[in-house]
Amino acid sequence: MKKKKLIVLVLIAVIASAGFGTSYAITTDGFDTHENSCCWYDVAFTFVSTSDNEYVKDVAFVDAIIIDDNNIEVSLTNAYPGYIAYVDFTITNTGTDPIIVDAVTIGSYNAAALDIQIIDVIAGTILYVNGDTIEGQVTIEILQGASQNSAYPANIDIGFTEFSE
């Protein structure tokens, strides 16, 4: 009989002690019981570099900067027909959960002056964990319809959706 009482007391002690940690977490706001846990889906440009097709004379200039996590701004100076600029970039999963890169798009630009192509970014690429990356390139060719002494800005944007199985 004493053995059964001892077992019952031990079980009561185990059950009671299991609630201490949860009670402490709730009182110190370390455990949120009012909202659903949420996931964080995000992706960012984390690297950008430029190059061009000029080898003998260095007349034109291309510059690209990351203006925020999801946008790169490209500017061309002294560009001429036949000039090709290359913008290499890296996209990184900066969230806590998997995402699918569904598009890298170019904002509005003068299609009579520029031919812009996106290379190496395939729609549907999955970045599974925080830190996974994909590399891509944008090529910008100046066409015959370009005007002299004109600025031709372009904006590169990432599109993504959350991954669900």
Measured in degrees and rounded to the nearest 5, phi and psi for residue 85 equal: -110, 145
pTM score > 0.75 for this model?
no
HEC assignment per residue over 76-119:
EECCCCCCEEEEEEEEEECCCCCEEEEEEEECCCCCCCEEEEEE
pLDDT score for 152: 80
**C-alpha torsion sign, points 115, 120, 121, 122:** positive
161: β partners: 100
Check residue 90 and give its pLDDT: 93
Residue 15 confidence class, pLDDT cut points 50, 70, 90: low
Phi, psi of 79 (to 5 degrees): -75, 155
Tell me: pLDDT of 30 over 70. Answer: no
φ, ψ for residue 10, nearest 5 deg: -65, -45
Average pLDDT of the segment spanning 98-125: 85
